[in-house]
Amino acid sequence: MKNAYFFFSVFILFATQLLLSCSPDERAQQLQIKIIETSDVHGAIMPYDLVEDKATKSSLAQVHAFVEQERANKNQVVVLLDNGDILQGDPMVYFFNYQRTDTLHLVASVMNYMGYDAGTVGNHDIEAGHPVYDRLRDAFDFPWLAANAIDTKSKKPYFKPYTMLEYQGVKVAVLGLITPAIPKWLPPDIWSGMEFQDMIESAKYWVEVIKKTENPDLLIGLFHAGVDYTYAQQQAETPMNENASRLVAEQVPGFDVVFVGHDHEGWNEQIDNWAGHKVLLLGTTSRARDVAMASVDLQLSKATNHYQKTITGEIVEMADIVPDSAFIQKFSPAFRQVQKYVAEPLGTISQTISSRESFFGDAAFTDLIHQAQLEQGEAEISFTAPLTMDRQLEAGPIYVRDLFKLYRFENLLYTMKLGGQEIKDYLEYSAGLWFATMTSPNDHLLLFATDSTGAIITRNGKARLKNPFYNLDDAEGIIYTIDVRRPVGTRIDIISLADGAPFDLNKTYRVAVNSYRGNGGGGHLTAGARIPQELLQDRILQSTEKDFRFYLMQWIRENEFVEPRVTNNWKIVPESWAENAKKTDQKMLFEDAK
C-alpha cells in the first residue's frame, strides 16, 4: 500500500514535470484567442436603469455571463479588456465616487470579480477626480493603462503605458492610449500633475519600446478615443486630435487589432496600415449594450518561427443574454444601497418638463437649469444646453433619481467674466451649430446631419442632429432673437438685459456656464467668442467645489416646491416660419440612445 502510494506520487511528480516542460519556452503550435472589449460602460453594472426606475436588457451582468460562456470553451483562451469611461453616467457609480467613499469602490469589486486582464482610462474616468481614479488605479487587480498621460514631474506615464499577457508561450502586448483633448473639457485641478501627448506620437514611441523589449506575437491597441478624426472641425494633421484611433492604426505599423471607444459608435473594419498590413479596427457602442470581440487564430510557422494570424471581428449584442446570477447576487447589496439613495424625495415639481422641447425654442427644462445656475453662480447671464436628448420629469414628487435626468453630467459650475461682444459671438456660434439657414417657410429649422450631396440622412424617417445636442446653448438673463434667414454669424440681435436695462457690447458681465464649456468644450468660447484656450482660466471668477447636480439637489431640497416656467427671453424669427418648421422637425428628430 505504502509502495503503491510512493509510485503514484512519483508518477504525479513526473507527469507534472512533463506538463510544465511544454512551457514556458516552448510556444504553442496553434492557439485560438478571443479578445473581448467593453467600453464606455458608463456605470451600467446591473440590468436596471435606476434613473428611469425600470429593468434593462444590458449591463455588465450580461457581459459576465457571456465572458464565462466563452471561458468555458477550453479550446481557446479569453482576454477581457475594458476601454474606459466606466466611472460616469449612472447613479451606481456616482454613489461610489462621491457618496460612499469609505469602502472598496464598487467598480473595482466588479471588474476584479469579472477578471479583466487590462483596462484603459477614459476621459470620464479622469472627470471623477484624483481621489476617485487614484484610488481605483490601486484597487484594480489588473493594469489600468494610458501611455500618453504623462506625470509632469517624472515625465513618465502617470498610469501604466502597456501590459504583457502570455498564453502558452504566445506573447500579447496591450498598449493603452487616452484621448488627449481632456484639458479642453475638464478643470485643471481634476487632471493636475498630468499632461497629455498626441496619440500618434506616443504610439510611435511605445510601439518601438514594446517591439524592442518584449518582442510580442500580437500587438493590441486599447484606445479611449473615437475613429472620426474630422469630428469638431479637426483634421488628420490636427495635433492632439481628439479621435485619433484610426490615424494611429494607419500610421503606426505594428498593431494587429485596435480597439476603440469614446465615440459610442460601434466599429468593425479591416483597414490597411502604411506598411501595407491589415489592422482590425474594432469598437463597442456604450452602456454594455454589446461587446466587441476579436477572434485570433495563431498558427506557428516552422520556417520563420512566427505566427500566422487570422483575425476577425464581431460586435455581440448583450440583449438576449441572461444575466449571470452569481454576479447579480454578489452585487445586489450595493445595488440596494444606491436604489435607496436615488429614491430620496427632494420636493415637488408643478408641471411636467421635457428636454426635447428645448431643441425648438425657449423651454421650461433648460430655463430651470438657468434659474439654478444664475442663483448658484451669482451671475447676470447664464448659458446652457439641454444635457439630455429625450428625458422627462413628471409633475409631482421629485426624487434624487430625477436629478440625473435634469442634469446628466458631473460638471462644475463656473462664473466667468465675458464681454458683451463675446456673449453675442458665443450665441452666434451656438446658433450656427443648431439652426439651418431657412430660405423658405418649408425649410427645416434644425441643422440635421447630411451626406456628401447635402441631403439629410434619414433612417425610418428619423434624422440625426448635425452637432451634439449638449453643444446647443441658449442664454438666460438677456432678451434676444435669432433670425434664421440670415447667414451663420449674423443672426443674433440682443435687445436688452432681462430686466430691460440696456445690454452693452463693451461691458463685461458675470456669466454662468458649466466647466465643460468653460474649459473650451464645444468651442463656444474659443472658436465662437475667440478667447484663446490658454486664457480661459483667467476668466473664471468662481467655481463650485462639487458637481453642479449636487447643488441642484440642495436647491430643490431647500425650495421644496419647484415651479418651472418658460421665460420666453428669446425667440426665433420669423416666428411663423419657425412654428411651421417645428411641426415637421419634431417628428423627424432622432432619439439618441447614447
Q: Which residues bind Zn ion (CB under 5 A)?
A: 40, 85
Is the separation of the CB atoms in 547 and 449 below 8 Å? no
Question: Would you list the DSSP string of 141-191?
Answer: SS-EE-TTEEETTT-SBSSB-EEEEEETTEEEEEEEEE-TTGGGTS-GGGG
For strands 381-384 and 54-55, give the pairing.
unpaired
Q: Which three cell numbers stand for residue 211?
A: 517591439
Q: How far is the CB of 391 from Zn ion (least distance, A)?
A: 18
Whose Cβ is closer to Zn ion: residue 82's or residue 476's? 82
Using the CB atoms, write b or e for 139-151: b if 16+ within 10 Å.
ebebbbbbbbbbe
Alpha-carbon distances of 253 from 39, 61, 158, 244, 278, rounded to whole Å: 24, 36, 25, 14, 10
Whose Cβ is closer to Zn ion: residue 31's or residue 182's? 182
Cis-peptide, bond into residue 188, ω within 30° of zero: no
Whose Cβ is closer to Zn ion: residue 85's or residue 217's? 85
User: 106-114 and 60-72 helices cross at what angle (nearest 10)?
Assistant: 20
Q: What is the DSSP letter of 374?
A: H
Q: How far is the CB of 558 from Zn ion (least distance, A)?
A: 33
The rounded distance, in Å, linking the Cα atoms of 239 and 197 is: 9
In the three-class reduction of DSSP (H, G, I as helix; E, B as strand; rest coil), residue 246 is classed as: helix
Task: Name residues whose C-beta falls within 8 Å of residue 201's C-beta, 6 or more positions apart in sequence.
Answer: 148
Whose Cβ is closer to Zn ion: residue 199's or residue 311's? 199
Q: How far is the CB of 555 from Zn ion (least distance, A)?
A: 28
Q: How far is the CB of 123 from Zn ion (least distance, A)?
A: 8
Cis-peptide, bond into residue 24, ω within 30° of zero: yes
Q: How far is the CB of 328 from Zn ion (least distance, A)?
A: 24
Q: How far is the CB of 35 from Zn ion (least distance, A)?
A: 20
Whose Cβ is closer to Zn ion: residue 259's or residue 383's? 259
Whose Cβ is closer to Zn ion: residue 82's or residue 250's? 82
Whose Cβ is closer to Zn ion: residue 51's or residue 511's? 51
Q: How far is the CB of 39 from Zn ion (least distance, A)?
A: 8
